[in-house]
Structure 1
């Protein structure tokens, strides 16, 4: 493997998985121990007829392991099944203002919310209320507003059934203001893939990983964010597949692993080296790195022509693509010096990586938010597709483009209607089914919603899960503006910072967790979700609810809708709450091609595949073909380098999922006991005249007249490219300008933020 870990940095000497993973689970298990029922829940996790993990969206294979959960998946389940309870008595002891100084970890440590709550401004406390009172007040407030003054946000955890009804509620109300967590992470994927291959999601299925010869990773941390993915990666390497990784940060999961489910590996400590090459590209340098790979492919194709051979799949290019000539010219016109300067990688390293691609018959491209959360993230993704198209690596077994999604149903909720873009939703079908005229104007995405709140145009926010105020950019300005809204409603299982920033009228509504039994009029209910490989799975909770006062997410959505909307004989909220199978019937009727026989197929082992046109080489693009694109930029950052300016990467720790912090152990990076760190290359530390452990601050280096600063960060030597620094999300969100986002998708560009170090 190239470029091994520097010894003069903070790091973890062990592999991903192994005993470290088991110790990580045990540490949380000790805190959250409830009963043997916890073990039964984990044993059913991610299996047919079982409980689908609330953590990442990695697929649930048909041929599952005895224990089909990872470290973070187990933590998420134990976190939900905690015995701690956040009761009205707790809120009677603590004001909201007092809790603003608490950490994210301490807020969630209070346990599961037990009662519906109303924020009382006079006492600065949450006070209990009835469900009827909450629904009536929410309905009254929404009816007093213009529909486009309200935002209906969804976090990506809610089921397909809930998401479908939530979107229907918003449209019956009269708005397409349906931003979701995808807007914050993978909206670039939806926009770019839709444009260049005609399908807004990845093209791979699970079986492809058993047939590929090479896998190229860009900007995705599998070891922490989707650890179950390590199993097929390990199996692929063992059968001879080569994995090449591009990431500014050396992440253990793509370096080496020990399978915790293998007694032999656990006893011997036998590691599998995952990546044959690990290239630490500059933050925002991926377009240039991909350009280097493509340039090498063309050079090798030139050589092959002399022998009457071809490296390119010219038949595929001719029959299935457009734009190749302009793309080829752009690659040939781009010099290796430009590529090296912008990528931070040597020509030799890129040519060696490119040779792996040249020699592989079947290649899969994997990426994460390292590509999507950039100012020119669209070009990142489109350039990756260019590389795959050159050899026909989309639409064949063992090939494809495969973004790894985050939250467990973030892809699925878009499938069933959570979208601000009306062209993505079968509005005519909805009009026919429900007897109303859906809104046809474009709604607000996350950045648009934030701009609307800052401008005072958005006056109501309904949050279906998540921690929106904590997750978004522009923290200080947004929190101030948030309090000027008329209505804020948060549906949640645990307390988080977003629940402490309230509008004039505010409600905190506690819901069932996915692991808990959802008992309705027709009996125990099943919910469904879609994984990142477009497979749909059923999930049944078996645990006793944390409180008798909890309602399901679907029941809460229906309760708000009934209190807000006029009666409609075609919209039977009570019937749907009583039997979620009838909601699935509605989903099937709305999307018949993707959800045929939904109720009958939802427990298909491995999930049922809803299909992907690009995988079938049916290109639903403007041209009717897959589209090569010529990038306009070699750097995705959107800003120029300058003396003293650094590229900040925001990271999640190994003890975290999204904004949920399970603890202070970032084991796989060797950082323990704190999140207040600034990771810097040791050479940069010396050049700056800093010392390890010194406390410094960061300031956003943006010329927009707004000051964004954070202090109290400990300088920590870490293996990063020159010019790069890193720290934890969401703490460093305060530094991300709202205007710093992908040009085409408006995804916040949190993987390369211009900053200066304050000493």
Structure 2
């Protein structure tokens, strides 16, 4: 709930004393000042635990403090001393809890006991673990597996994810949507077609050798702050950093290193971006078209003058397919159209192209500002097109780097969490476990939303996360959840998905990753994969929040035993007793990816999965890296923006937030304090639409269907954002996104360019 909102410009660098103060505040807020400080020293260390928030790479030779501000917030949030006990639920009906904010729900602390929904009292009541598994198992055994969904957030370890995916397939479906469906599925669709791998090719070592980086659609200072350290080092070498983003985010403007006494005791800071281009929301394809056009035309002139080439002609000839068709499309693109669609000048784009051409090694890094669009797949492929022009795939200091969000969101896909059976070694699973795996493509996140809306599923099992809050069209879906026969949530904290529940509902509280996991063979270690395809071990450091908690592998195994017939090839109990046996099973299933898994997992800095594209081996249909010719560069041909009343809304996270988890109402870097009920707008749009600072408005989605989508109680504020564009907070604004408004082919909800109109409300 908003209290005394305050909007003011923030001119300080990312990091610095602001981050120190924020870390201290969260430790005090969660009553873990002493213990939290001790634990943070082990965060992202080879002998410690992997951060539970972002998936940025973890170095072999870490800093003394190898955590960022938001990583510290995530740690404090998990090891909090606060508890949501059965007594809490006895005092609150779920109808009452629905009115609570996301912050208020999660602030109750860690769940301590397994709970079952009691319809008569409208409360969660305690239940024994065995009774919970028996009741859930009885229900699931009676359902059609094709009508059951097994969702996974990016929190679960590789071990848990492998077990969970195997359980779903043994049960009889590939309904394994995950948080990738909501963010980087556009990457997973785009990159195999262009370079033959579904993930990025950049490693931490590449940051030491690059001389030019391009950022697209990412707020690094909030969403991957530990990356600011290698960016700062790169800038000290005079590497160029060129940023394309609708907002001037502080982390990509300037940075003061909290681990540098010199910088903390002075006003010294590092300018991060050497060029900063505020591209229009959805204008990235046009911007990249302009850069590619400038490079190709400069190369044409060089050829005509018999001068040194601008493009890497040798690489293009030997390693790529489709260059001429792509080059002709770029030559034909009109600069007026490029400028209109990108809201950037030709001179600005040519300046970016000039730096690209000068560089010996270029990296492109991007986030959901690229992937969460109707043309998200094409946008990713345009970035690889740009890299291929200079031979910037498969050489030191160069490559493509999708910046993933949740800590193991990439890894869970690696070990089988996917709705696409073609991405899983089904023959190997059949051989190892003596069953016939399902062949039908399962439900994505969008498919699951449609099924919930239309009454098409009988059960939803959530392995972590806050699915009901993370998805679009919440005004449509929230009432539909209550008609689902069964919802089961494996969770650490209370959230919106637990109070917006099915007719039968269970809360199964699990250990957090930072907690000591004791099983029959002793204390267990789990593993995760970071954004650079590197595998790391993670070992818990603190005592469990409750003696009644079970580990995620233990819960998955118990569910599997409850819903599946005995299988002589699988000893679920043995896997729970010793997670090393699960890792051995992963190695048998994916021998090329996880060779000597148990032996290598504790290697400082982790071990890298083999990526053929990084060696210039192209596992594509053509056997080469492919240029993709764009059909156009309009962001959304299906939903037109009239240029007058219709605005482009982008949803985004705040500074004190990770995914749907909101730590405080403050967004320090944007100067938005004590509220999230705001829209940040260009001053000229406010004037044109007759709006004044702090006016109350309702945002209404412009769509062709008959479903009204409106979010009221918002206040407008002038901000440095391109004309025609508006910023609002995720997940609050998700109710404005139609389920149908998603990326082509990848079905990622298109939360970065929602067509809206504003209606002024009474103060």
* TM-score category of the 2 structures, normalised to the smaller one: over 0.9
Partner of 2:660: 659
Partner of 1:16: 14
Q: Judge conservation of contact 2:297–2:331 (CA < 8 Å) in 1.
A: no
Partner of 1:756: 757
Q: Judge conservation of contact 1:380–1:636 (CA < 8 Å) in 2.
A: no
Aligned pairs for 1:254-333 within 5 A: 254-305=252-303, 306-333=305-332
Partners of 1:35 and 1:289 in 2: CA distance: 46
Q: Judge conservation of contact 1:375–1:742 (CA < 8 Å) in 2.
A: yes
Partners of 2:51 and 2:113 in 1: CA distance: 24
Deviations 1:121-156 (A, max 9, x none): 110000000000110111111110111110000001
Deviations 1:320-379 (A, max 9, x none): 111111101100000111110110000111111110101111100000001100001111
Partners of 1:724 and 1:36 in 2: CA distance: 44
Partner of 1:231: 229
Aligned pairs for 1:75-86 within 5 A: 75-86=73-84
Partners of 2:321 and 2:441 in 1: CA distance: 29
The Cα shift of 1:455 comes to 1.8
Partner of 1:557: 556
Partners of 1:408 and 1:213 in 2: CA distance: 28
Q: Does 1:107 align with 2:105?
A: yes
Partners of 2:757 and 2:740 in 1: CA distance: 18
Partners of 1:239 and 1:218 in 2: CA distance: 22
Q: Judge conservation of contact 1:469–1:475 (CA < 8 Å) in 2.
A: yes
The Cα shift of 1:634 comes to 1.1
Partner of 1:456: 455
Deviations 1:689-732 (A, max 9, x none): 11111111100001111100011111111110000011100000
Partner of 2:597: 598
Q: Judge conservation of contact 1:416–1:587 (CA < 8 Å) in 2.
A: yes
Partner of 1:470: 469
Q: Judge conservation of contact 1:379–1:636 (CA < 8 Å) in 2.
A: no
Partner of 2:532: 533
Partners of 1:589 and 1:468 in 2: CA distance: 32
Q: Judge conservation of contact 2:241–2:275 (CA < 8 Å) in 1.
A: yes
Aligned pairs for 1:370-385 within 5 A: 370-385=369-384
Q: Does 1:631 align with 2:630?
A: yes
Partners of 1:544 and 1:366 in 2: CA distance: 38
SS state at 1:315 partner: helix
SS state at 1:47 partner: coil
Partner of 1:640: 640
Q: Judge conservation of contact 1:10–1:718 (CA < 8 Å) in 2.
A: no
Deviations 1:479-514 (A, max 9, x none): 111111111000100000100111121101100011
Deviations 1:93-125 (A, max 9, x none): 000000111000000110000000000111000
The Cα shift of 1:34 comes to 2.8
SS state at 2:617 partner: coil
Deviations 1:11-64 (A, max 9, x none): 211000000011111111111133633222100100102111001000001121
Partner of 1:725: 726
Partners of 1:398 and 1:580 in 2: CA distance: 36
Question: What's the C-alpha RMSD, in Å, of the aligned pairs?
Answer: 0.9
The Cα shift of 1:622 comes to 1.4
Aligned pairs for 1:660-679 within 5 A: 660-679=661-680
* TM-score, with length taken from structure 1: 0.98
Partners of 2:8 and 2:412 in 1: CA distance: 39
SS state at 1:44 partner: coil
Partners of 1:641 and 1:594 in 2: CA distance: 45
1:142 to 134, 140, 151: 140
The Cα shift of 1:302 comes to 2.0
**Structure 2: runs of 5+ lacking an equivalent:** 1-6
Partner of 1:6: none
Partner of 1:400: 399
The Cα shift of 1:641 comes to 2.2
Partners of 2:252 and 2:605 in 1: CA distance: 25
Distance 1:35 1:343, change over 3 A: closer
Partners of 2:32 and 2:358 in 1: CA distance: 53
Q: Judge conservation of contact 1:473–1:736 (CA < 8 Å) in 2.
A: yes
2:39 to 38, 41, 44: 41
The Cα shift of 1:263 comes to 0.3
Partner of 2:342: 343
Partners of 1:206 and 1:76 in 2: CA distance: 23
The Cα shift of 1:736 comes to 0.3
Partner of 1:511: 510
Aligned pairs for 1:110-129 within 5 A: 110-129=108-127
Deviations 1:175-225 (A, max 9, x none): 000000000000000000111111000001110011011000000110000
Partner of 1:5: none
Partners of 2:109 and 2:156 in 1: CA distance: 20
SS state at 2:460 partner: strand
Deviations 1:441-467 (A, max 9, x none): 111110011111222121110000000
SS state at 2:265 partner: helix
Q: Judge conservation of contact 1:467–1:496 (CA < 8 Å) in 2.
A: yes
Partner of 1:693: 694
1:61 to 59, 62, 67: 59
Partners of 1:629 and 1:325 in 2: CA distance: 11
Partners of 2:451 and 2:24 in 1: CA distance: 44
Partner of 2:3: none
1:240 to 233, 238, 245: 238
Partner of 2:4: none
* TM-score, with length taken from structure 2: 0.98
Partners of 1:11 and 1:331 in 2: CA distance: 39
Runs of 4+ off more than 4 Å: none
Partners of 1:106 and 1:544 in 2: CA distance: 25
Aligned pairs for 1:190-209 within 5 A: 190-209=188-207
Partners of 2:435 and 2:297 in 1: CA distance: 58
Q: Judge conservation of contact 2:27–2:36 (CA < 8 Å) in 1.
A: no
The Cα shift of 1:314 comes to 1.1
Partners of 1:307 and 1:360 in 2: CA distance: 21
Q: Judge conservation of contact 1:10–1:717 (CA < 8 Å) in 2.
A: no
SS state at 1:668 partner: helix
